[in-house]
Amino acid sequence: MNDIQTYMKSLGQQARAAAEVMSLADVHSKNVALLAIADAIDAGAELIKAENAKDLQAGRKKGLDAALLDRLELNDVRIAGMSEGLRQIANLADPVGDITDLAFRPSGIQIGKMRVPLGVIGIIYESRPNVTADAAGLCLKSGNATILRGGSEAIHSNQAVAACIRQGLVASGLPANAVQVVETTDRAAVGELIQAKQYVDVIIPRGGKRLIERISNEASVPVIKHLDGICHVYIDDKADKTKAIDIALNSKTHRYGVCNAMETLLVNNTVAAKILPELAQQLRQKGVELRGCQQTCELIADCVPASDDDWDTEYLAPILAIKLVDDMMQAIEHINHHGSHHTDVIVTEDYTKVRQFLRAVDSSSVMVNASTRFADGFEYGLGAEIGISTDKLHARGPVGLEGLTSQKYIVLGDGQIRE
């Protein structure tokens, strides 16, 4: 066994031991720890910034681009954001131990389900060092132990945040190893982490599509993954024009670089002439480039003909693909085959179509008359999210505290035996 293997094994064993304690920690202790970590981060702001400056300097030397350097930076606002986020998590209801569906069976036993932590969660993420605090906080509140592996470019920042987390854990009496941040930048550590079935129950990668694909292809530990967001709005022939324009505009232009932004607009061709020109004008005013099918290009000026690739592209930019469709079924067909099963919207006033669309669209969030931008843990009332799952197994859509837990059966009896 080489050094990295030995090191990762020891992290795994420590995490497993900490997870046992964490799974039984009461709400109060976990909240005390979260608040103590928040205080340690506030108190350690200057040190965190000094360590962050080392990463930024090394990043500039390495020639990281401006966007990456921006994500890497921890200024006063972002540090305050980390501690504020932890205090918000402390305010969330703790799902662990919740008992639901307790019901008697003909045998006389009573069966229910109790919510329990998953165990040890491995988080693999890229440049944003604030993920260290966010992810640790959510995992801690849900009673899990965590092993965090951040990007090598953020190593000093992550370790500075890790020191604050450790300080808060120790102050609260919870195991210091409940949150461990990998100290080596050796890439072999990632390989060990995603193969450590004995010590790690689930891996959650956070970052670009390439990172997530690589992790989920190579991991033997189960992965909760969040791939791309190719989200659609379909404007039906029974759509209310004002709602259609408002929702399409908001879904595309509220923010561009986010996974729940609309990338393709589908318009029923019987109402396209009534709605598209006005909508296109407003989109263009916001600086959105329009790429359309042939019919779209005939209807609106300055429209670039879309290529086949456009229907399968997550732009994360002020670009919108537009396609006319004959009916809702054609829209659903397009969404299920070109989308990424993330978030898709119908705008319509037709009751029967609403029922059909909700059922037939195979996406983690299916919406009626609302902006794609609502697909978000805060908006859904989860309080915070560790990511948006595009998987179907275990958790689908925004993953909050509950997505970091499982349920076991509990059986209450009075001496019942099976005949």
Q: Is 307 in the site for a second copy (CB under 8 A)?
A: no
Among 42, 289, 327, 362, binds a second copy (CB under 8 A): 362
Q: Is 243 in the site for a second copy (CB under 8 A)?
A: yes
Shortest reach from residue 139's CB to a second copy, in Å: 14
Residue 233: both structure tokens together: 């709005």
Give residues with Cβ within 8 angstroms of 46, minimum separation 6: none
Contact between 152 and 127 (Cβ < 8 Å): no
Among 78, 87, 209, 254, binds a second copy (CB under 8 A): 254
Shortest reach from residue 85's CB to a second copy, in Å: 19
Binding mask 278-297 for a second copy (x = CB under 8 A): --------------------
Q: Which residues on adjacent β-strands are paired with residue 304?
A: 291
Which residue from 86, 116, 121, 169 is spatially nearest to 11, judged by alpha carbons? 121
Shortest reach from residue 404's CB to a second copy, in Å: 11
Contacts with a second copy by CB under 8 A: the residue count is 66
Which residue from 167, 192, 193 is spatially nearest to 178, judged by alpha carbons? 167
Contact between 149 and 193 (Cβ < 8 Å): yes
Shortest reach from residue 64's CB to a second copy, in Å: 31
Q: Is 359 in the site for a second copy (CB under 8 A)?
A: yes
Shortest reach from residue 333's CB to a second copy, in Å: 10
**Among residues 51 and 201, whose Cβ is nearest to a second copy?**
201
Q: Is 78 in the site for a second copy (CB under 8 A)?
A: no
Separation between Cα atoms, residue 268 and residue 305, nearest integer Å: 18
Torsion, CA 293, CA 298, CA 300, CA 304, rounded to 10: 50
**What is each CA distance from 197 to 142, 174, 194, 406, in whole angstroms?**
20, 24, 8, 17
Residue 152: both structure tokens together: 């090598």
Cα-only R_g, the chain: 24
**Among residues 60 and 105, whose Cβ is nearest to a second copy?**
105
Q: Is 105 in the site for a second copy (CB under 8 A)?
A: yes
Q: Is 271 in the site for a second copy (CB under 8 A)?
A: no
Q: What angle do CA 361, 362, 363 make, to 5 degrees?
A: 100
Q: Is 348 in the site for a second copy (CB under 8 A)?
A: no
**Among residues 179 and 395, whose Cβ is nearest to a second copy?**
395
Q: Is 116 in the site for a second copy (CB under 8 A)?
A: yes
Q: Which span sits near a second copy by CB under 8 A: 65-73, 85-93, 180-188, 362-370?
A: 362-370
Give residues with Cβ within 8 angstroms of 113, minimum separation 6: 99, 100, 101, 407, 408, 409, 410
Separation between Cα atoms, residue 262 and residue 366, nearest integer Å: 13
Q: Is 28 in the site for a second copy (CB under 8 A)?
A: no
Q: Is 97 in the site for a second copy (CB under 8 A)?
A: yes
Among 38, 132, 373, 399, binds a second copy (CB under 8 A): 373
Which residue from 230, 227, 132 is spatially nearest to 180, judged by alpha carbons? 132
Q: Which span sits near a second copy by CB under 8 A: 40-48, 65-73, 278-286, 378-386?
A: 378-386
Q: Is 380 in the site for a second copy (CB under 8 A)?
A: yes
Among 5, 13, 295, 374, binds a second copy (CB under 8 A): 374
Give residues with Cβ within 8 angstroms of 99, minimum separation 6: 112, 113, 114, 115, 410
**What is each CA distance from 295 to 290, 305, 332, 335, in whole angstroms?**
13, 10, 19, 19
Contact between 26 and 133 (Cβ < 8 Å): no
Q: Which span sits near a second copy by CB under 8 A: 1-9, 51-59, 237-245, 294-302?
A: 237-245
Q: Is 39 in the site for a second copy (CB under 8 A)?
A: no
Q: Is 414 in the site for a second copy (CB under 8 A)?
A: yes
Among 79, 367, 384, 401, binds a second copy (CB under 8 A): 367
Q: Is 415 in the site for a second copy (CB under 8 A)?
A: yes
User: Of residues 161-220, which lie at the interface with a second copy (CB under 8 A)?
Assistant: 201-202, 217, 220
Q: Is 114 in the site for a second copy (CB under 8 A)?
A: yes
Torsion, CA 96, CA 99, CA 101, CA 106, rounded to 10: 140
Q: Other CB atoms closer than 10 Å to residue 28's CB: what's the count?
A: 10
Name the residues that contact a second copy, by CB under 8 A.
Answer: 20, 23-24, 97, 103, 105, 107, 109, 111, 114, 116, 118-119, 201-202, 217, 220, 222, 240, 242-243, 246-247, 249-251, 254, 336, 358-360, 362-371, 373-375, 379-381, 392-394, 396-398, 406-418
